[in-house]
């Protein structure tokens, strides 16, 4: 597991008071180091302050800045934290706006600002020169020789590779961080002085998030605070840490004390994403990239308390507004995919088996949405319920009421007699409730549905979801098969939210009540006889484990290619108050075993739309051999 804790800091400053600023910077470094942070990024020109104006050209300010850089180097000893601090630096009669990268009593490198803004409220070219042309120079200072200077420096320690840019560099068409990322940097620091005007904070946040997404990196942003000069502009001390387009931490601006935000970065996640993203790798082929890699070593990568939030339901957004938008988007994708298939086949009817369970309910709701879209009457939806040995009154009545309430053409075909006849034909004792007993029913239902689709001239719509496919909890050539499968990339945890979303937006109270009761019904294929009280005896999650755990495992296994140890660790964090370590271990082993042994079912999937970042379609995201061994992953 490769995690690293990083920080963004905004110290209290006094304009031009370098000694005071140095002391506050050291306080921040000590605080971050005490919290096991391994990198800290300060604002642009933090050592002098950004708003010194013509004082930047005074030898006193320039020389004193260098004096306190030397003191900062001394203060960094035995801290085990990479420090990126802004300071002016005179190089061959050119005053550069620089990031000094300091570690354990040494300057690892100096990165100049590539682009100097000179428009609107910015007037930097009066004092500073662009550093875009400076590459891999070596300079000597009175206290250290052969210091790398340039915009092409990457600072590497193990899996962590740091690159730095300064303020305006992020605002240009192709930021230097884009090149740094293609050169291998997976953590970008930005030392900034971005003033506050109406709406700018949102734009700045979007820039940081989007750049971290494009570069598949973590982006640490630090901007000057309220103690800069307020002669004409005001700074808010905006601090941001983003990771691959997701905002991990953000401060409240306009703070008047030293402020530090920290976040734990998942380096494995970033590196795996880059490995999978072929376009990211290919992008570097069109560029002449030649970066100087500067190696350094931490004493320890211990991050202390793991305070990174791990969503126990990674497929489900926590923000209600985002959840609503996600549900709308998914239902639109499902309906649009089915609409295209109906238009292409010119079949105006849909056939679907309705069990009174979650998956078939969602599929039916998608069909209804599609038929509304295509102006096809609801009676062209042929819904069939097929009670068997395990069908309970609750699911049976919900199936009937839902289908009739939606105005579909409803039929009931009891499969008990057909199943008993088949048991007789193959010589199976119906008192033996084994896999044969269950699969005979599942295949009988699919045969009925397929044959009715032929008879009616319609499409058989599949109902199985992503979670069932990942676990192989479906009957091969039974409920595993259809003519188009609308739920094929929707995980079980998200199925629940989609059904609830539809229920919450219905004007029909009766249908809403039915949907809510379906949501409250235990997940079950109902292939084994019901209990003595007529209730569901066969509960899926008792057999394969909690779907919320399996969806969590699936996300990290597929999306990040995470190792078993990491999945287990993250699950313990996410479900610390719900499942024991032994339970997580048990169901993770079950997930890995079933994921590998059931691939043959996924290799023969019918068509269906991809709605999220993960799909197990053999034509899309997953090209996996059906006979691969799981031993390495266990």
- Is 183 annotated to bind a ligand? Reply is no
Measured distance CA(438)–CA(446) in Å, rounded: 13
- Is 119 annotated to bind a ligand? Reply is yes
CB atoms within 10 A of CB 198: 6
C-alpha angle 214-134-13 in degrees, rounded to nearest 5: 75
For 375-415, where are the alpha helices, taking DSSP H only?
Answer: 393-405
- Is 532 annotated to bind a ligand? Reply is no
Measured distance CA(307)–CA(576) in Å, rounded: 13
44 part of the active site? yes
- Is 125 annotated to bind a ligand? Reply is no
- Is 507 annotated to bind a ligand? Reply is no
Q: Which residues contact 263 (CB under 8 A, 6 or more apart)?
A: 5, 6, 241, 243, 248, 249, 308
Write out 282-314 in H/E/C secondary structure.
Answer: HHHHHCCCCCEEEECCCCCCCCCCCCCCCCCCC
Q: Which of 5, 28, 38, 44 is catalytic?
A: 44
Q: Which of 325, 321, 313, 347 is nearest to 553 (CA)?
A: 313
Q: Which of 316, 611, 634, 303 is nearest to 466 (CA)?
A: 611
Measured distance CA(589)–CA(591) in Å, rounded: 5
Measured distance CA(506)–CA(512) in Å, rounded: 6
**Helix or strand holding residue 459 (H, E):** strand 459-462
- Is 194 annotated to bind a ligand? Reply is yes
Q: Which of 99, 167, 215, 403 is catalytic?
A: 167
Strand pairing category for 137-141 and 144-149: antiparallel
Measured distance CA(374)–CA(339) in Å, rounded: 7
Residue where the block lists tokens 């001239």: 457
Q: Which residues of 107-129 are buried (b: 16+ CB within 10 A; e: fewer)?
A: bbbbbbbbbbbeeeeeebeebbb
How far does CA 632 lie from the centroid of its chain?
26
How far does CA 360 lie from the centroid of its chain?
28
- Is 463 annotated to bind a ligand? Reply is yes
- Is 357 annotated to bind a ligand? Reply is yes
Collapsing DSSP to helix, strand or coil, 243 comes out as: strand
What is the phi/psi pair of residue 293, to 5°?
-95, 125
- Is 360 annotated to bind a ligand? Reply is yes
- Is 356 annotated to bind a ligand? Reply is yes
For 166-307, where are the alpha helices, taking DSSP H only?
Answer: 168-171, 176-182, 200-214, 267-276, 278-283
113 part of the active site? yes
- Is 353 annotated to bind a ligand? Reply is yes
Q: Which of 113, 156, 349, 530 is catalytic?
A: 113
DSSP state of 57: G
- Is 485 annotated to bind a ligand? Reply is no
167 part of the active site? yes
Q: Which residues of 373-389 are buried (b: 16+ CB within 10 A; e: fewer)?
A: eeebeeebbbbbbbbbb
The residues annotated with a catalytic role in the active site are 44, 113, 167
Known binding-site residue numbers for L-glutamine: 119, 194, 200
Known binding-site residue numbers for deamido-NAD(+): 439, 468, 601
Known binding-site residue numbers: 119, 194, 200, 353-360, 439, 463, 468, 601
């Amino acid at each position: 597991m490769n995690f690293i804790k990083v920080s963004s800091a905004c110290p209290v400053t006094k304009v031009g008071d370098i000694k005071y600023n140095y002391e506050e910077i050291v306080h921040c470094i000590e605080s971050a180091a005490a919290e096991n942070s391994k990198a800290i990024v300060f604002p642009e020109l933090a050592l002098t302050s950004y708003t010194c104006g013509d004082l930047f050209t005074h030898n006193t300010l320039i020389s004193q800045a260098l004096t306190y850089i030397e003191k900062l180097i001394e203060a960094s000893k035995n801290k085990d934290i990479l420090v990126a601090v802004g300071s002016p630096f005179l190089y061959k009669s050119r005053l550069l706006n620089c990031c000094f990268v300091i570690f354990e009593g040494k300057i690892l490198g100096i990165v100049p600002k590539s682009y100097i803004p000179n428009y609107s409220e910015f007037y930097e070219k009066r004092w500073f020169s662009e550093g875009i042309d400076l590459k891999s120079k070596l300079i000597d200072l009175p206290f250290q020789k052969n210091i790398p200077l340039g915009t092409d420096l990457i600072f590497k320690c193990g899996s962590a590779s740091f690159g730095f840019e300064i303020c305006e560099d992020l605002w240009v068409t192709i930021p230097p961080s884009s090149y740094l990322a293609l050169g291998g940097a997976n953590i970008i620091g930005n030392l900034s002085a971005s003033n506050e005007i109406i709406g700018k904070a949102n734009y700045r946040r979007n820039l940081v998030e989007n750049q971290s997404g494009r570069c598949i990196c973590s982006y640490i942003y630090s901007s000057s605070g309220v103690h800069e000069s307020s002669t004409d502009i005001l700074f808010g001390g905006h601090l941001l840490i983003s990771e691959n387009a997701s905002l991990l931490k953000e401060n409240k601006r306009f703070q008047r004390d030293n402020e530090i935000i920290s976040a734990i970065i998942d380096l494995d996640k970033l590196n795996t994403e880059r490995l999978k993203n072929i376009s990211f790798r290919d992008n570097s082929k069109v560029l002449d990239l030649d970066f100087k890699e500067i190696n350094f070593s931490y004493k320890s990568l211990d991050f202390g308390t793991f305070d990174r939030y791990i969503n126990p339901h990674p497929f489900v957004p926590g923000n209600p507004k985002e959840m609503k938008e996600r549900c709308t988007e998914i239902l639109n994708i499902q309906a649009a995919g089915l609409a295209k298939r109906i238009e292409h086949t010119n079949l105006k009817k849909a056939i679907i088996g309705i069990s009174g369970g979650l998956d078939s309910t969602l599929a039916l709701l998608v069909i209804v949405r599609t038929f509304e879209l295509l102006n096809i009457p609801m009676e062209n939806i042929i819904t069939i319920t097929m009670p068997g040995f395990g069908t309970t009154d609750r699911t049976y009545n919900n199936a009937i009421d839902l289908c009739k309430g939606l105005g579909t053409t409803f039929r009931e075909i009891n499969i008990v007699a057909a199943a008993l006849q088949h048991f007789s034909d193959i010589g199976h004792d119906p008192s033996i409730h084994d896999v044969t007993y269950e699969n005979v029913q599942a295949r009988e239902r699919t045969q009925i549905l397929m044959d009715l689709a032929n008879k009616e001239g319609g499409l058989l719509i599949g109902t199985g979801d992503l979670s069932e496919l990942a676990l192989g909890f479906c009957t091969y050539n039974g409920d595993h098969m259809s003519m188009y499968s609308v739920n094929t990339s929707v995980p079980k945890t998200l199925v629940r939210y989609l059904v609830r979303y539809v229920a919450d937006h219905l004007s029909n109270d009766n249908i809403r009540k039915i949907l809510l009761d379906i949501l409250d019904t235990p997940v079950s294929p109902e292939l084994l006889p019901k209990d003595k009280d007529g209730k569901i005896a066969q509960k899926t999650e008792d057999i394969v484990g909690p779907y919320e755990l399996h969806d969590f495992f699936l996300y990290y296994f597929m999306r990040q290619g995470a190792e078993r140890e990491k999945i287990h660790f993250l699950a313990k964090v996410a479900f610390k108050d719900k499942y024991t370590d032994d339970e997580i271990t048990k169901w993770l082993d079950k997930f890995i075993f079933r994921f590998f042994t059931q691939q043959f079912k996924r290799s023969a999937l019918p068509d269906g739309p991809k709605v999220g970042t993960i799909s197990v379609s053999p034509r899309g995201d997953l090209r996996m051999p059906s006979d691969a061994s799981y031993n390495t992953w266990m």
